Chains A and B, each alone.
Chain A
């Protein structure tokens, strides 16, 4: 059964269906979109349970010649890493659909004519784009053909571009263009690398498994690595290629922001892990110091700048820049723990940042402003809303017991095994995280209730359904990450093998002593 193709086909068909609905049937469009996304989720679960962690690395393989003249295949398959990321997308989309219920209705829905609220737009289009995006997100993670990956990598930009551009805040078109051009630029550099890879490898195929180890010459590796890496670094985004993200995320409607930061950007770090490391092991080792430095700078820099933000969504965006620093650091630390942690981080960050953006979205929906200064004392009038915001925030500062802690802990400890100093500097991020999250929480939720906030209603049923699954995931994975890690670890092992690195062993004998136990 061609699971992955089905996973992509369903949302595409759904999108077409939604788009073809007659004018004015927005409600129906929403329901249809929700239904489709739920079907995708169900299918994903059905697929995931059949995945055998210790089976072949790539499973549910499909491979058909697409463009023989270019040696391009329609090749899809998943290993543990791809699987969890696909699952992430499949889980987030229904939630986002539910959360974006009114996003397209624009300022008309509120009497306040506010800057943060865009004018009314067609809801149909919005949800159609959303579903197309879902298909592409699944495709980009599933692609085992580098060309196919590139196609999705670039094509993904378009729906997101429209979602930001037509449904975003007051500066939406600036943000959308910046997002598109920045990513496109990276993508085009990557295109050169892709071409060069094909030409140099002389394998007449783009299939990833066959290209692993195809490039031996170190110099070539370095150039190709650079080509791929810059694209991924822009996507991720790594410091200093990050400035498009705050604009995009702040202008995008909350739902789109979730998918942008939660999933799209993961493609960058995923690409580093999957392609940079395995295709160009020597170059990766050569560039590791540089990348580690960039990541550490990103962690601290992102956190500090986040502290200074006055706009909630910008603040959250900057926290993500900090978190992506962690992920990239984990990827390039080249230890089992760090890379598993980084992969897990990609998933957890999706949930926690997703929750943050969505709850922030609810606030903005009520107040019509993203400015932190416009809030205050929300907790007294809307305790549930505040509580959700707090939990999301706490997961953002990776409080133990919540999912992100596990991943951050693994990344740091794994990095520490090889690069102690960066890990220590990175760990100061946990202090800064406490500052930016709690300070934002204090300014928005605590203290005497501000006048415009008085009228706030607490979470309604729909919003509860948006928040509940996210928080459930965050808590569950916080105490029991094993299921994910069991899937991720073998894939990471494989990655490390292809990247030709091995873990360092501790000095003492404990490891041997309990070697069996662990």
Chain B
């Protein structure tokens, strides 16, 4: 864009179709809230949401197979729908679909957010069986943001996407049906810290813009080295961009929000955040540090090393002493973010190491499914006050519900990276890539922390199987069709990816071989 004349932009609608579909559905959802009678809303929302996500998924696949992978950014270089982007879209859409099945559960969300907890209003709301159906459009908006986030080929779009994906989540976090105080607190914390960090992102963006004179990733990358005497601008900007992104993936020292939010938020939303958001965020990280700053990798890599190590260590060590299941899973997700970061480091800079990229993508798939599954199980273990979060309540679960406990144990083993689970191949792929990229020390730290991390997964298994059940142990909620479907799917994915990872690995390879377009 050079001042003066403004020509009409060209938009490749076909390419952007999945996104547009999701956003459109979201808008429709808002209209439904506005006009549909309350008793109808849910029954319209659910199919709408599911269809929208499924449709978007199909469109993505179609895009990948029919059109082939485009080699130039779309929408005037604002959005880059390339191999990795498509792959990430597919993951996000599937996981979002799965999470939606979880969200479709009256026990998850508050009857009426406006009603003060414990007030008579709330009782009425509950009695009338109200439901906060705004959840669905919010979800769709957020997912839309997630789709745009990793595909953004220009910092502004990325910022907007960041906000679009975050803002609905802030709200969703506050809508838990039980323990509303915790939920609301989580919401506030997430919101304040989130906006705080996005301010950093924005300022970084400003500085980079100041350096490069453009916010287009390609332009930035091509401007590197051409501008003299402005390096400080660049480095500080790069750092602040990094802060914004690392916050989203919950890397230390920006992880503080994760445990609190994961614990407070409705479990279904936690599942969504733990899986899809992580995927989207890593997509964005890769794009920024690769497409835009690829040529500076010798500068940012050491810092990334530090962050990765710190993240792995903090995640693993802090998790050991957790007593709340969701909180523990939050820390575990921090640790996994650390492992993923080793993958990011392995992808390196401009030379675009595709093995590492595909490894990373595979890891995201494997981890995403397992996480959703794990949280799905968490939603099913309940007692009087809602979900039985405290670990002590899980004692002897293996006796009361062998199958469920077994599946959960299996998920935990997958987190721990035991062979014949998807987690193992994820870890293996990433570590292998890292070793190939001369990041051996990082890998050693990785395995040591995984050994530490294994401890708390094992601890839960001990609780569930080896200790005698508590007298007033939690009951196992009869799962909704959705929930059981989620658990089954996740378990199946974990097994299949653990035994025959080849197909998905191939997909990831193809996606990676196209690489990020610049």
The residues of A with any CB-CB pair to B shorter than 8 Å are 66-70, 119, 150-152, 154-155, 157-158, 161-162, 165-166, 172-173, 176-177, 180-181, 184-185, 188-189, 191-192, 195-196, 198-199
Is B466's CB under 8 angstroms from A172's CB? yes
Is A196's CB under 8 angstroms from B451's CB? no
Q: Which of B195-203, B330-338, B442-450 contacts A (4 or more CB under 8 A)?
A: B442-450
The residues of B with any CB-CB pair to A shorter than 8 Å are 358, 398, 413, 416, 418-420, 424-425, 428-429, 431-432, 435-436, 440, 443-444, 447-448, 450-451, 454-455, 458-459, 461-462, 465-468, 501-502, 505-506, 509
Cα distance A188–B505 in the bound complex, in angstroms? 22
Cα distance A188–B509 in the bound complex, in angstroms? 25
Residue of A nearest to B438 (CB): A199
With A70-B432, A192-B435, A192-B440: A155-B420 Cβ-Cβ less than 8 Å = yes
Residue in A69, A158, A199 whose CB lies within 8 Å of B509: A69
Select the residue from B413, B465, B506 with max chain A CB neighbours within 10 A: B465
Is A165's CB under 8 angstroms from B465's CB? yes
> What A residues does B461 contact at CB under 8 A?
165
Given contacts A67-B505, A166-B465, A172-B466, 20 further A-B pairs with CB under 8 A are A67-B425, A69-B502, A69-B505, A70-B505, A119-B468, A151-B419, A151-B424, A165-B465, A165-B466, A173-B462, A173-B466, A181-B451, A184-B418, A184-B451, A185-B448, A191-B447, A192-B431, A192-B440, A195-B431, A199-B435
Residue in A155, A166, A189 whose CB lies within 8 Å of B466: A166
Is B459's CB under 8 angstroms from A177's CB? yes
> What A residues does B466 contact at CB under 8 A?
165-166, 172-173, 176
Is A189's CB under 8 angstroms from B462's CB? no
Cα distance A158–B416 in the bound complex, in angstroms? 12
Is B502's CB under 8 angstroms from A198's CB? no
> What A residues does B502 contact at CB under 8 A?
66-69
A interface: dominant SS: helix
The 9 A-B residue pairs with the shortest CB-CB distance, nearest first, are: A188-B447, A151-B419, A173-B466, A185-B451, A69-B505, A165-B466, A154-B419, A173-B462, A155-B419
> What A residues does B424 contact at CB under 8 A?
151, 154
B interface: dominant SS: helix
Cα distance A122–B501 in the bound complex, in angstroms? 33
Residue of B nearest to A153 (CB): B419
> What B residues does A172 contact at CB under 8 A?
466
With A165-B466, A177-B458, A199-B436: A67-B501 Cβ-Cβ less than 8 Å = yes
> What B residues does A199 contact at CB under 8 A?
432, 435-436
Is A188's CB under 8 angstroms from B413's CB? no
Is B448's CB under 8 angstroms from A188's CB? yes
Select the residue from B358, B416, B431, B468 with max chain A CB neighbours within 10 A: B431
How many A-B residue pairs have C-beta atoms within 8 angstroms? Tell me: 86
> What A residues does B465 contact at CB under 8 A?
162, 165-166
Is B413's CB under 8 angstroms from A181's CB? no
Residue in B451, B462, B506 whose CB lies within 8 Å of A165: B462
> What B residues does A155 contact at CB under 8 A?
418-420
> What B residues does A166 contact at CB under 8 A?
398, 465-466
Cα distance A162–B502 in the bound complex, in angstroms? 29
With A184-B451, A189-B447: A70-B458 Cβ-Cβ less than 8 Å = no
Cα distance A342–B150 in the bound complex, in angstroms? 57
With A155-B420, A173-B466, A185-B451: A191-B435 Cβ-Cβ less than 8 Å = no
Nearest Cβ on chain B to A186's Cβ, whole angstroms = 9
Residue of B nearest to A164 (CB): B466
> What A residues does B458 contact at CB under 8 A?
161, 177, 180-181
Residue in A69, A162, A191, A196 whose CB lies within 8 Å of B440: A196
Is A151's CB under 8 angstroms from B420's CB? yes
Nearest Cβ on chain B to A214's Cβ, whole angstroms = 16
Residue in B420, B428, B443 whose CB lies within 8 Å of A70: B428
Cα distance A66–B459 in the bound complex, in angstroms? 33
Is B432's CB under 8 angstroms from A198's CB? yes
Can you report 21 residue pairs joining A to B where beta carbons are below 8 Å apart? A67-B501, A69-B358, A70-B505, A119-B468, A150-B419, A152-B419, A154-B419, A155-B420, A157-B418, A158-B413, A166-B466, A177-B459, A180-B454, A188-B447, A188-B450, A189-B447, A191-B431, A191-B447, A192-B431, A195-B435, A199-B436
> What B residues does A196 contact at CB under 8 A?
435, 440
Cα distance A166–B462 in the bound complex, in angstroms? 9
Residue of B nearest to A196 (CB): B435
Residue of B nearest to A223 (CB): B440
Nearest Cβ on chain B to A233's Cβ, whole angstroms = 16
Cα distance A158–B436 in the bound complex, in angstroms? 30
Residue of B nearest to A66 (CB): B502
Cα distance A172–B466 in the bound complex, in angstroms? 8
Nearest Cβ on chain B to A104's Cβ, whole angstroms = 14
Is A177's CB under 8 angstroms from B418's CB? no
Is B418's CB under 8 angstroms from A158's CB? yes
Select the residue from A69, A165, A166, A198 with max chain B CB neighbours within 10 A: A69
> What A residues does B444 contact at CB under 8 A?
192
Cα distance A176–B436 in the bound complex, in angstroms? 35
Nearest Cβ on chain A to B365's Cβ, whole angstroms = 14
Residue of A nearest to B355 (CB): A69
Nearest Cβ on chain B to A226's Cβ, whole angstroms = 12
> What B residues does A185 contact at CB under 8 A?
448, 451
